[in-house]
Amino acid sequence: MVVLKNIPRILSPELLSVLARMGHGDELVLADANFPSASICKNGPELLRADGHGIPPLLKAVTHLFPLDTYVEAPVLLMDLVPDDKARGLRTPVWDQYKIIVNNAEGKEIKVELLERFSFYERAKKAFAVVATGEGALYGNIILKKGALPAEE
């Protein structure tokens, strides 16, 4: 926990460091409890732990500090349902929460793209970091592409 003014307490010092070191176009994965975070990070992204935390409050805290990329069509990516889960009508209400959070953070509607499961894993392997959370929602994984801040005047 960090105790600083205007910094959400859910953000660990390690996660704050990652957010600060990321550059324009780098990607951050917020991974649900079922995501293979350790194996995805074996040869690539930094692995951070946020056990016990759900993704919605973490996403709200991250997007409080983290600009989304305005130079890509969809700076937010979600793992799409596999065909069997689509066929049986599995619902993903957490996605609606994510959309509300990112839209509120950016002050406008943000395009969200769905990636096929294994494409999502491959994309995650190229991320700057993966945050392993305690999120219990199925298909709760989300990738955020960092944007740029305008120059100070």
Q: Which of 24, 53, 85, 96 is catalytic?
A: 24
Q: Residue 45's CB: how many other CB atoms inside 10 A?
A: 22
98 flagged as catalytic: no
Q: Which of 64, 80, 85, 121 is catalytic?
A: 121
121 flagged as catalytic: yes
Query: Whose CA is closest to 78, among 37, 24, 117, 131?
Result: 117
Q: Which of 26, 32, 53, 69 is catalytic?
A: 69
53 flagged as catalytic: no
**Non-local CB neighbours of 88 within 8 Å, separated by 6+ positions:** none
Give the catalytic positions in this structure. Answer: 24, 69, 121
